[in-house]
Structure 1
């Protein structure tokens, strides 16, 4: 990584470990500590916003150049030596503690919440880059789980062989499906590999076999990929996810150099689009969060709280429960 790029990331409040791993405070963590406003992941899944570690093990590595991505693009560097999982996790937690240290003296910050924030209980493996490129991802999740931490993984789906090889899965895995067809995919995701769409399709076909909670996320940009809910629903049928998150693009970070604010759909537009997908798939609108422009689709009666489900020993996915029942018949 060249020094100019490193300094750019540091000015953007990234803290970088070994050139390939990084942590950055989520804006919602700040809102949670200072204003008691929580992110949609807390409202949907029960994780605690102020105890979430937003990180990436592959900061500079990605197979896409999505215009809606918040990261600095076009600065990929070859990683010569990857950090071991425990070492990386310890370092990123230490960096996060430094990043939040200034909140301790702010009178708006509850002292109890601050102390809790110093010990994260949730890892969001999603900050930037494509995390499945990190070669020790399975061992990383195992390390997180050994500390009692819940884990979310967000992937663009172009590394199905890496997902299939995971011995330890995250508690929840998202795949971003940001196009209803191959032509739109080329425009919306700008893949750097020739077979990106085919690889994504392989990931969707793999999803039903994963013994963890699965989520398909549709990141929707007005005038780019917010179209054809029927085709999105056809792809969702292939993945057979536990949950679906249609989410409107937000005009932040590096995307502001590539898109305009007009790309942000109105929340009512996202709600209408989500309802059409839900009707096609026989799903329900379970929850919604207007300030994040996101809707959660699934089936009534699901235990959405990830930690509660884990602690109760419930199947990681209702689909796994159905599969077990089918095998016993």
Structure 2
């Protein structure tokens, strides 16, 4: 079995838990998720099976669309509802709606974000949450560049602020909630997160683990398991002639007479590579003596 299943992850499970369940259901060890979704978050989690695990990194790079709830007045050590309460504002004036909208919607474009200490990022080979649980409080956590493509308030009800955010890989929405609480002067934490989309994977084409298991027993999940190249639609397609495939698979350059491709491919571009209708993986455009060639980059074989 090779392909991608878009799992609708429930709250209370880690991304690794999902992988473990799918391994048990399918009997396949070669399964990998495409980006950590925190236990208290639900939503879209594309999971690669078999040879499709070769392209996990390309799905991880895709933009994420999330709906989150910011609850004002409380600060937690994890920046979400799973953490211990550090500070609680018993009596405070909830900022005006305009002030909340202005603070949240100003958090757009390129940002420097400090990840939460309770995260899976590593410092000197140790995961940050492991260091935090061991009582290490003097850890230097470097800020990272992220990009917020769009962020907007959906609804404000008392201390609860619901907002949508489209962001780059590596963005911690719970850090956004913590930062917004500090900016508004009243603290805040992320009380809810729903990942609505990761690239072309969305809620509409997602399935629960139970649905996948039932489909697997029924017909091998043929209507649920997506082909590997489904996740690579943004790359141009190249078709390599059968006579040139051996050279391509051995890592040699394939010159113009050995393939057909659409216009616009340039040096350094990644492309989807096919031969006789079969998807073989990802190639890269190269210039050799001013001639465009295709070379293997990430193969499924």
- Give TM-score, length-normalised by structure 1: 0.25
Structure number having the greater strand percentage: 2
Larger Rg: 2
Specify which structure has the higher proportion of helix: 1
